[in-house]
Amino acid sequence: MSLRHYLVVFVLIGQLITDTYAFVLPETKIWLPHTPPAESMAAATSSSSFLNLPHKEAISAFKTLFVQRKIPPTELFHKVLHWLLSPNSMSCKDLVEWCDALADAVIARDGCRFGKNSIPIIFGLQTLRLRNTLFMRNLSETVKRLLPEEPRLYNRESTWEPWIHELKHPYHRFSKPLREWGPLKALLMSEPRLSSLGSAIHSRQPESIIEKLNPTIKEIFSRESAGDVSSETRLVAIATLVYLLKNAPDKYVGEKADQLMNSLINPHNGYVLLSHERTLLGTPLIKRFEQHHSIKVPMRFWLGVGHPPVREGQS
């Protein structure tokens, strides 16, 4: 594989589920593995009609309900998250205010920046960032408020929860639930967009994997699908590409995974990626390049500065 094939990686690199619910939000195709279905929550009570109020009144009612505990806090958070992710005509300004109010409540409930309620909210906010690219920076600041401080790393393994590890340290390998086939397969099979690909990988059918891989990945990361795909789906799709890069049943599947990963991080192809997604895709490609060419890539190239080194005789 030529050095040119990997060039885009160096230019662009910038920057478990233990109890999964895994359902698709009604009226959308959004897969939410961290929250229960809306219909399974005690949401059809008179106290839950606050979301139909005018914007300012709705936020005020949400804060009151949180303090009074008329709806259990976790259930209240999930209800608001489902509502924010459902199709609506909310302005970006109102959306940012809702996200800030939700983040404030989560932090108050857990008594710290990061707690057990944070994971679904963090990923929900990431999904909203992708849907509302004009306000991506505003929502990014809200996400940062919920993320934990720098994680404690021992032997390159984070002590943080799976999924959060991928957000905080995407340049390290995936956490076990997202890199080992057993739990990864369970995730794939619970996401309708990824289930047929998961079946093909499980059966180790190279032709079937290749046939399903291209359209599945391109649909998930296309601009057109950005508002209808959860950030969890995107993360599992990236984990699947990395898994195939390292565990392909034959060389053609590995090459196809490599090709798709390079395609996703190529800015000319028009895919919208969050910074941790770009790093999760690019880091394995850099490591693969190092192994194939027996060279160590300087750290500055991992940060997208300069050009990859070329040894004598390389082309």
Question: Residues 166, 295: one domain?
Answer: yes
| Same domain (yes/no): 237, 258 | yes
| Percent of the chain whose predicted confidence (pLDDT) is above 70 | 76
**The pLDDT of residue 240 is above 50:** yes
Q: What is the mean pLDDT of residues 252-270?
A: 93
Model confidence at 226, pLDDT cuts 50, 70, 90, reads confident
pLDDT of residue 302: 53
Residue-wise pLDDT for 136-191, tens only, equals: 777 888 888 888 765 444 344 445 578 888 888 888 889 999 999 999 999 999 99
Q: What pLDDT was estimated at residue 165? A: 84
Task: Name the residue with tokens 């300004």.
Answer: 93
> Which one, of 5, 20, 8, 12, lies nearest residue 232 by Cα?
20
Give the end of a domain, one of 150, 177, 205.
Answer: 150
Residues 146 and 100 both lie in one domain: yes
Is residue 156 situated within a structural domain?
Answer: no
Judged on CB neighbours under 10 Å (0-12, 13-18, 19+), 281 is buried
Question: Do 41 and 120 fall within a single domain?
Answer: yes
User: Has residue 311 been placed in a domain?
Assistant: no
Residues 84 and 202 in one domain: no
Q: What is the pLDDT of residue 179?
A: 93
> What pLDDT does residue 116 have?
67
The answer to whether residue 313 is domain-embedded is: no
Cα–Cα distance list, 101 to 17, 35, 81, 104 (Å):
26, 19, 11, 5
pTM of the model: 0.82
Whether pLDDT at 250 is above 90: yes
The reply to whether 157 falls in a domain is no
Radius of gyration (Cα) for the chain, nearest Å? 21
Shared domain for 104 and 170, answered yes or no, is no
Q: Are residues 126 and 188 in the same domain?
A: no
**C-alpha–C-alpha distance, residues 230 and 30, integer Å:** 5
- 72 and 181 in a single domain? The answer is no
Domain of residue 39, residue span = 23-150
In total, the chain counts a number of residues equal to: 315
Q: Which tokens is 56 given?
A: 């300012």
Q: How many percent of the chain have pLDDT more than 90?
A: 43
Q: Is residue 312 part of a domain?
A: no
Compute, in degrees rounded to 10, the torsion defined by CA atoms 259, 265, 267, 269. 40
pLDDT digits (tens, 9 = 90+) for 288-301: 877 777 777 665 55
Looking at 52-61, 78-87, 246-255, which range is the least confident one? Answer: 78-87
State how far the Cα of 209 lies from the Cα of 202, in Å rounded to an integer.
10
Residue 136 to residue 129: CA distance in whole angstroms:
5
State residue 45's pLDDT score. Answer: 41
Residues 182 and 260 in one domain: yes
Alpha-carbon span 180 to 171, nearest angstrom: 17
As a three-state string, the secondary structure of the chain is CCHHHHHHHHHHCCCCCCCCCCEECCCCCCEECCCCCHHHCCCCCHHHHHHHCCHHHHHHHHHHHHHHCCCCHHHHHHHHHHHHHCCCCCCHHHHHHHHHHHHHHHHHHHCCCCCCCHHHHHHHHHHHHHHCHHHHHHHHHHHHHHCCCCCCEECCEECCCCCHHHHHCCCCCCCHHHHCHHHHHHHHHHCCCCHHHHHHHHHCCHHHHHHHHHHHHHHHHCHHHHHHCCHHHHHHHHHHHHHHHHHCCCHHHHHHHHHHHHHHHCHHHCCCCCHHHHHHHHHHHHHHHHHHHCCCCCHHHHCCCCCCCCCCCCC
The answer on pLDDT for 303 being more than 70 is no
Name which of 18-27, 40-49, 247-256 the model is least confident about. 40-49
Which residues does residue 31 pair with via DSSP β-bridges, in sequence order?
24
Does 314 map to a domain?
A: no
| More confident position, 289 or 253 | 253
d(CA 274, CA 206): 30
Q: Which of 97, 122, 150 marks a domain boundary?
A: 150
Residues 224 and 192 in one domain: yes
Give the pLDDT confidence score for residue 277 in this predicted structure.
93
- Within a domain: 118: yes
Q: Exposed e or buried b for every residue in 57-88, given b needs 16+ CB within 10 A?
A: ebbebbeebbeeeebebbbbbbbbbbbbbeee
Of residues 288 and 242, more confidence is placed in: 242
Give a yes or no: residue 217 inside a domain: yes
For residues 70 and 122, which has the higher predicted lDDT (pLDDT)? 122
Mean pLDDT computed over every residue of the chain = 80
Q: Which two tokens stand for residue 219?
A: 């649909």
Look at residue 185 in the predicted model and tell me its pLDDT.
97
The predicted structure's pLDDT at residue 207: 96
Residue-level pLDDT at 88: 78
- Domain end residue (candidates: 130, 150, 170): 150
Asked if 76 and 170 sit in the same domain, the reply is no
Together in a domain, 184 and 130? no
Neighbours of 179 (CB within 10 A): 16
Q: Count the domains in the chain.
A: 2
Q: Is the pLDDT of residue 231 over 60?
A: yes
Geometric angle at alpha carbon 119, from 87 and 132, rounded to 5°: 35
Ranked by mean pLDDT, the top range of 20-34, 145-159, 209-223 is 209-223
